[in-house]
Structure formats: C-alpha cells, structure tokens
Amino acid sequence: MQKYITTPIYYINGAPHIGHAFTTILGDVLKKFEQMRGNEVYFTTGTDEHGQKNQSSCQNSGLPLDEFLKMRSDNFRNLFDKMDIDYDYFVRTSSPEHKAVVTEALNYIWNKGLIKKKSYEGLYCEGCEQFKKPSDLDERGFCPDHQKAPQLLTEENYFFPLEQHRQWLIDYINTHPDWIKPRRFAKEVLGMLAEPLDDLCISRPKSRVWLGVELPFDKDYVTYIWFDALMNYISSLGWKPEGAADIRFNEFWPHCHHLLAKDILKTHAVYWPIMLKALGIEPPEHLIVHGYWLGEGGIKMSKSLGNVVDPYEVMDLMGVEPLRFYLCNAMSLTGDSQISIDLLKQGYKQLANNIGNLQMRVLKMIAKNLDGKVPSPAALSDKDKALLENLADTFARIYRYGELSLELVSELSAEILKAGDAVNAYFAANEPWVLAKDESQKERYEAVIYTTLDALRLIAAAVYPFMPQVSEKILASLGIAGKPSAADFKPQQLKAGTQTTVGAPLFPYIADKPAA
C-alpha cells in the first residue's frame, strides 16, 4: 500500500527551531514505521518562500532575491539532512513546478466563477499573514501567537467564498470522526464552523506584497501566501486539473496524512478542504495535529518572540537520534509540552540507563564467559519464554494494527522504554553474574543470557523508526545485518552460536555543566 506523509512547509524569515525539527522528525519516524510494515511511502517537507514576512526579511538582508531564498531554504534543508530525515521531495514554493500548479489551480477556480473582487477592511496580523476577527484576539487586542496588535487595513482584493461549503464540511467531519487526530481537535474545528464563514481573501496587492505567485487573471496582485502554500501538497505529486495528474498523485493522494501544529489547524481543516472541493479533489485521508513546544516562560516557541530552542545546540549536546526519540516520547497527547536542556538531558540519561546499559552489561558478560557467542535457548524456562512472547506480541500488535497518529508514536516509544525496564529488571533478578560462577548453573546462566539477548533484539527492531543507527548498531552487535522489519517480532529468533561484539557505548556520558 502507498502512504503519503507531509509536513507543513516552513517560513524562511528566520532560523529553524525545535518545533520545525519535531514535526519533520515525526514525519520521518512515521515513514520508517510504514516501511517496516512493507508499505511504499512518499514523504515531503520544505520551505514557504513567499509572503510579506519573507519579503521583509529579504529586503533587510540586502541580498538578491534568489540568493536570499536559496540561503534561507538551505538552512532548513541542511538541518533536516543533519537529522537524517529521509524526505522524498523537498518543496520550494519559489520553484517553477510549484508556481505552475498554483497558477493552474487559480485559473481552474476562476473559470468556475468561484472568485470575486471586492473592497475589504480588516485587522491584519503580519506574523500570521492573515486577517483576524476581534474574537481571534486576546483581551488586549493582541494576536495570541505573536503578542502584537494587528494593523487595520482597507484594500481591494480577490476573495474565495467559503460559506457555501460550510455545511458540507460539518457533515464530512461528523461522518469521518477520525479524519482529524487526535479527535479533540475535530471539536475545535466544529466550533470554528458554528458561525458563517467569511470569504477568504486569496490575493495581496503588489503595491504591498510582491513576493508571491502572480494571479493569472490580474497582474497587479500576487496569491495569498496560504492559498499558495497549501497547494504544495498537490504540487509535490504533480497534480493537474481534469484528471491529467501525474501517476504519483493518483496513487498517493488517497492515502495522504498531513502533519501540523495546532496553530495552523484552521487553514488545514477549514480553508484547505474547501479549496480541494472546488478543485474536485477529495480531502486528505487524515490530519495529524500536535500541540506546541513551550519554551522559556511557558510560551509557544516563536522566532518573532525569540524564545526558541536551537536544534543544532541540542544535537551537538546529545546527538541526533536521542533527540528524535525524546521529542516523540515527550510530546503530550492532551496539550502542549515543555522543553529545556535539562529535560533533554534527563531523556538522554533514561535511554542510557535503559537500553544502553542493558546492551553493554549483557554483551560484556557474554564476551567474558561465552567467547561472545549466543548460547542455546534449549533450557529457557516458562518465565523466560513468557517475557519474550510478551515483548514480541506487544511490538507485533503495534506494527500490525497501529494507525499513523501521535498516539501510535507515543505508545510505541513508551512500550520500548517499558520493555527496557522489564528486561533490566529480569536481568537483575536472575543475577547472571552469580550464575556464571557456578558450573552447575550453566544451563540457567545460558538461558538468562539468551533471553536478554533476544529481548534486546526485539527492542532494537522496535526502536528503528526513532533511532535507525542505534537500532542497526544493536543488531550488528548481535551479529544481525540489515534493517529490521515488522516480521522480526517473533520470540527466540536469535540463532545460537552467533558471534556478538561489545563495541562503543550507544549513549556516551554527558557531563553536567559545573555550577557557576
């Protein structure tokens, strides 16, 4: 089966932060999960290079436009490459391919008579690049996300009516209760649809914003950044109107999963499905929505507020893969999540004490007493077998039935840590270091060592989507080559006599900073 996974495309007016890193890591984790199940995955991420904020940043930089756009886009591409993100297509909205699709879509909707021109007065938030209703603002009249009062603007623009499709969208959400995950966000969208929808302004006059896709029916305007940016999800698949789309679109679009933070829920769950309906395209299969990472002061991280966590600093501290695991394990399913260097260090130490410690202890012991060779499982007790069967069954269930969601990622990461705790407890309770000294306990010693090694194999396979290099290092230390798959979740699959190697620690010690 095909799966299409997307992240939002990121504004290039500032440096990437940990929020961008998380959503993109999440997409990569879900891709690897699906690949382990044998599915074909197309995964896209990229940069949004149009709009007023990017235009202002370019003007402030003093660089030529093309040079500025490439430099800022490469900031994101380089980060994702450093994080080992296996994307299949990197979107740039400044590319001719994307602009062509936006132009075709605008012409298609224009020719259907669904766009009208009129004068409009509204409160415009430059940070959101959206007009706001008074009800969208806090008690001070500020945008909650950007902590700034929007500007009152009056101008003539082109509009795309939304109200005529409001009831259709309400019915769609009610008849597809798992379309938006987690479901609590569906209730939020239904709240947005409780009142009539204003027409969506889909243009900006070039006198104010010139960085964008020119309207094909009026050269004095460019396309509103969100109408432009949302089209990346179909331009990445080669969409064309009237059934002339690339084969990728026909194969992957029906299985599309959009990943997004809750601040862009309205654009993706209200504007986008109505835009798609106008184009004759079904909505994406699922919207997977996550909360915010809260920075210093408990406020959502934002470049404009200057409270971001630098992903490069964190990767230099703890490495890429522990960061990937921490973010996926720590994101709350019910709200927002705190992040700090201290919390990241705690997550790193948990991995070191859990999986890292387990691997090092058992491999050093087998190297000392069994010449590094995997012993026979012939003498496994019922409790030994039950431990392996429980681990294998848990992971097999998740990989067989898990649906792409935050719940899946949270459950899998939690079960990996629980498995590590269980096997560490088993290892400590059976005291193989004592058994090794008693020749009469040789069979029991070998049974404990085999059980621990095979459990480690199962954990290594399960952890692959989060930490692929760690997974392959553990498997290689057990004499197993290649990438794991969902078929590996069976007990007692480690072959007796296989040569193991100790190797370097998976999670080297991180020293705490000395007190000032």
Spot the catalytic one: 143, 201, 256, 328.
143
Q: Give me the half-sphere count of Cα atoms (radius 13 Å) on the Cβ side of residue 246.
A: 12
Q: Is residue 146 among the annotated active site residues?
A: yes
Give dist(CA 214, CA 220) in Å, integer. Answer: 8
Give dist(CA 263, CA 284) in Å, integer. Answer: 19
Query: What ranges in 116-209 are assigned the alpha helix state H?
Result: 166-175, 184-192
Q: Give me the half-sphere count of Cα atoms (radius 13 Å) on the Cβ side of residue 105.
A: 31
Q: Is residue 256 among the annotated active site residues?
A: no
A 10 A CB-CB count for 139 gives: 5
Q: Is residue 300 among the annotated active site residues?
A: yes
Give dist(CA 420, CA 354) in Å, integer. Answer: 5
Q: Is residue 58 among the annotated active site residues?
A: no
Q: Is residue 17 among the annotated active site residues?
A: yes
Q: Is residue 176 among the annotated active site residues?
A: no
Spot the catalytic one: 17, 99, 268, 286.
17
The residue count of the chain comes to: 516
**What does DSSP assign to residue 196?**
P
Spot the catalytic one: 303, 442, 473, 490.
303
Q: What are phi and psi of 242, to 5 degrees?
A: 60, 45
Give dist(CA 90, CA 72) in Å, integer. Answer: 14
Spot the catalytic one: 146, 206, 262, 266.
146
Is 343 within 8 Å of 330 (Cβ atoms)? yes
Give dist(CA 74, CA 130) in Å, integer. Answer: 26
Q: Is residue 20 among the annotated active site residues?
A: yes
Spot the catalytic one: 31, 53, 125, 290.
125
Q: Is residue 258 among the annotated active site residues?
A: no
Spot the catalytic one: 32, 70, 98, 128.
128
Torsion sign, CA atoms 414, 416, 421, 423? positive
Spot the catalytic one: 98, 300, 328, 345.
300
What is the set of active-site residues?
17, 20, 125, 128, 143, 146, 300, 303
